[in-house]
Structure 1
Amino acid sequence: MTEYPNLLSRLLLRRGFASQFAFPITDSRKLTRRLEILERLLPRPRPRHLEPLTAPIVVAGLPRTGSTWLQTLLCAHPDVAYITHLTHHFPTCFRAANLVTGLLGIDAKGERFIGDSVVHSLKSPSEGTLFWGEWLGWDPACLTYDPVRLADLGPGTIRDVHDTLSRVVALFGPGKRFFTKNPAFIPYVPALSGLFPDARIIHLVRDPRPTANSMIKLLRACRTQLATVKASGRPLSMRLDDFVPYPRLPRLAEYVGRFGADDVRATARLWRDAALFMEDLAPSLPNLLTVRFESVLADPAGSVARILEFCRLSPLPADNPAMAALYARTGKVAHVNDYGDYALVADICREAMARLGYDPDRPAGNVGAAGAAAFRRLL
């Protein structure tokens, strides 16, 4: 159930929450134009007042690996800044949007359309797909792999990335570290490491057997929600007949054409390819930490402490009640999953599983020996 702090929030946000998607797709041009007028009237932060991005934190991992929950844990740190859902919906006027909603107390809190027990609000962290999609040239309807390096972006895009994200961070106050995660990031890690040479990159992995199944669940939820939004009659900001929420790895189009996007043989191969893709990159990424989500589930407080140390963020007090509550909720879900084909997934991913410390012959979620040396500082 969606919660609204006041009647105005309910009136303004109810339809929007019902139309949520993997990224904003409903047409909000009228409201955006009004907010853009206010944005132009606001004093623009002077360059000397904007702090340069220092060692941003980037989480790259396949969909359904627990990245949203890891994001929740890390973004609870007082020194972390991020793109919120509100900022994501209004990329050209996010300062005005934050000002208006703050003055009027407008917000909403509810479960994601995926039905995965994850609750978000206007102020919670977002994947920022509209921002990254524009900068990196993403086409949600295209499945082909398009490798992007820093040189492909051009100086104008590079300046826009740093200027925009500095203004996002400024919303949180001075001295903050920028955090971002997106399940589409893996093929673009070379470009991101070029944009942010001092970035702390976290490669989040999860046992491929539940992951491959859960990716199909996500695909079906996206297709159902897209049909629901289109049937509602609300104007859309783009023409979109289908959306496959998987990263555009080199062989994605081949797997979808051969097996179908909703086949575990395709998603298992994507898990394998993503693991090997990151292994190939590892020698060129000195600040890479590979984290198994099973480690976070087993010891959330200890895992977060090690991740914060890697990110060079100050440790959190052991008696922090807000974090204690988050740690207690880690792994607790209200939904039930019905997954299968574990033996098939294990056979496809066997070699990559062993490299990451998963035993394909033991029950899902069991973590064995540490992974290959290429995966530095495996957690």
Structure 2
Amino acid sequence: MRRTQSATPPPVIVTGTGRCGSTMVSEMLARHPDVLSVSELFTAVHVPLIPGEISGARFWELLGTLDPGIAELVRHRVDIREVQYPFGRGRFTAETGVPALCLLTLPHLTGDPDALYDELAAEVPGWTPAPAEQQYRRFFAHLAARLGRRVIVERSGGSLRMLGSLLRIFPDARVVHLHRDGPDTALSMSRHPAFALGAQTVELSRRGAGDDLPEDLADFRPGRFTAAALRHEIPLQRYGRLWSVLLLEAERTLAGLPADRLMALSYRDLIADPAGRLAELARFGGFDPDPDWLREAAASVRPGRTGTADALPAPQRRELHRSCLPGQAVLHRLGHVA
């Protein structure tokens, strides 16, 4: 595969509501030898942007600390598909705790996350004090140089909720907004425990902090959550509301990006024509849409699950579609509708 010019393009942020195909995109991009495909970093550490300068040692401490929501799921041994740390082969265990970097991000970059973690542990704490935003940029650049990659693509599941913070870290970033039909996304969210937390949190916000909550919601309040809470049947429309809330909260940020820094990518279009859409993404991101890579990446695409919500019983389908209307309106206003 031929290499592109040596100039480093701005980083690319792939963002979405979650359950919209972004993990698949990360995996396809990771096959490109020029691309550092950073996956789930900000799912793990949740972008702590501390005012003022922080030392390298403090920054390294932040990179090892799990986001509270993910930490809660891990503490209760809830199975999370995105966790790829090699339990049983790696030196960390559920009992000792796994650093956030090792749990979600480094296994996507190397077959030996412990070794890369040790290298970073010897490097990062010695960095001079700098604003958190600069430390993150330094960290990404160091990873790219260490792994011999030229283009940085960051993708964290459900990162629409933190897009403004990500753009503070990477103010020149190009953004790929990956979007999927609302009811289909909500149905997929209902099969993932992290989104159960999100959906119930949105519902708790709607209802207020009273003590007369039904058990299925009360069990998701801070300090009460256990894995048993996930056995409650959560109405699908709550996931639809979560999908809508994520889009509503990100609308202003997305609308404020200039056209040359924003690419809308439909999940449906990606499944129908992966090579064509990936070629567009490569040109947008400033790397080579090499035909060999396109063929290999496109061959990895599993048959798409589109229109799945249409099979729901009519009353449930109507409620779900109604809950997704605010988010659908955002997509129409942005022009991000396939």
Does structure 1 residue 207 correspond to structure 2 residue 181? yes
Tell me, which stretches of 5 or more residues in structure 2 are unaligned?
Answer: 1-5, 45-58, 62-77, 87-98, 104-128, 221-233
How many residues align structurally?
Answer: 236
**What does residue 19 of structure 2 align with?**
64
Which amino acid is the alignment partner of residue 139 of structure 2? T
Q: 1:295 aligns with which of 258, 261, 269?
A: 269
**What does residue 306 of structure 1 align with?**
280
| Counterparts of residues 144-223 of structure 1 (less than 5 Å) | 155-173=130-148, 176-219=150-193
- Answer yes or no: is the 8 Å Cα contact 2:248–2:326 preserved in 1: no
Does structure 1 residue 325 correspond to structure 2 residue 299? yes
- Answer yes or no: is the 8 Å Cα contact 1:83–1:180 preserved in 2: yes
| Counterparts of residues 31-50 of structure 1 (less than 5 Å) | none
Q: 1:78 aligns with which of 28, 33, 46?
A: 33
- Answer yes or no: is the 8 Å Cα contact 1:57–1:202 preserved in 2: yes
Q: Distance in 1 between matches of 2:145 and 2:319?
A: 48
Which amino acid is the alignment partner of residue 266 of structure 1? R
Does structure 1 residue 269 correspond to structure 2 residue 220? no
- Answer yes or no: is the 8 Å Cα contact 2:38–2:155 preserved in 1: no
Q: CA deviation at 1:80?
A: 0.5
2:172 partner SS: coil
Task: Point out which structure has higher relative CO (alpha carbons under 8 A, 6+ apart).
Answer: 2
- Answer yes or no: is the 8 Å Cα contact 2:34–2:148 preserved in 1: no
Q: Deviations over 1:97-131 (max 9, x none)?
A: xxxxxxxxxxxxxxx9557xx99687xxxxxx936
1:64 partner SS: coil
**What does residue 139 of structure 1 align with?**
none
**Post-superposition, which runs of at least 4 consecutive aligned residues in structure 1 deviate over 4 A?**
51-54, 112-115, 118-122, 255-259, 318-321
Q: CA deviation at 1:173?
A: 1.1
- Answer yes or no: is the 8 Å Cα contact 1:52–1:166 preserved in 2: no
Q: Distance in 2 between matches of 1:71 and 1:256?
A: 36
1:84 to 1:288, Cα distance in 2 relative to 1, 3 A: closer
Q: Distance in 2 between matches of 1:247 and 1:160?
A: 32
Task: Give the TM-score, by structure 1 length.
Answer: 0.51
Q: Deviations over 1:164-200 (max 9, x none)?
A: 21221122215x1111211242222112112112211
Which amino acid is the alignment partner of residue 304 of structure 2? G
Tell me, which stretches of 5 or more residues in structure 1 are unaligned?
Answer: 1-50, 94-111, 123-128, 134-153, 223-242, 357-370
Q: CA deviation at 1:269?
A: 0.9
1:173 to 1:209, Cα distance in 2 relative to 1, 3 A: same
Q: CA deviation at 1:323?
A: 2.6
Q: Distance in 2 between matches of 1:65 and 1:184?
A: 9
1:247 to 1:164, Cα distance in 2 relative to 1, 3 A: farther
**What does residue 205 of structure 2 align with?**
254
- Answer yes or no: is the 8 Å Cα contact 2:9–2:286 preserved in 1: no
Q: Percent identity?
A: 24
Q: Distance in 2 between matches of 1:313 and 1:53?
A: 9
Q: 1:285 aligns with which of 243, 249, 257?
A: 257
1:171 partner SS: helix
Q: Distance in 2 between matches of 1:331 and 1:121?
A: 27
Which amino acid is the alignment partner of residue 15 of structure 2? A
- Answer yes or no: is the 8 Å Cα contact 2:160–2:246 preserved in 1: yes
1:285 to 1:67, Cα distance in 2 relative to 1, 3 A: same
Which amino acid is the alignment partner of residue 246 of structure 1? G
1:319 to 1:61, Cα distance in 2 relative to 1, 3 A: closer
Which amino acid is the alignment partner of residue 293 of structure 1? Y
Task: Give the TM-score, by structure 2 length.
Answer: 0.57
**What does residue 55 of structure 1 align with?**
10
Which amino acid is the alignment partner of residue 212 of structure 1? A
Does structure 1 residue 353 correspond to structure 2 residue 328? yes
Q: Distance in 2 between matches of 1:375 and 1:121?
A: 39
- Answer yes or no: is the 8 Å Cα contact 2:20–2:178 preserved in 1: yes
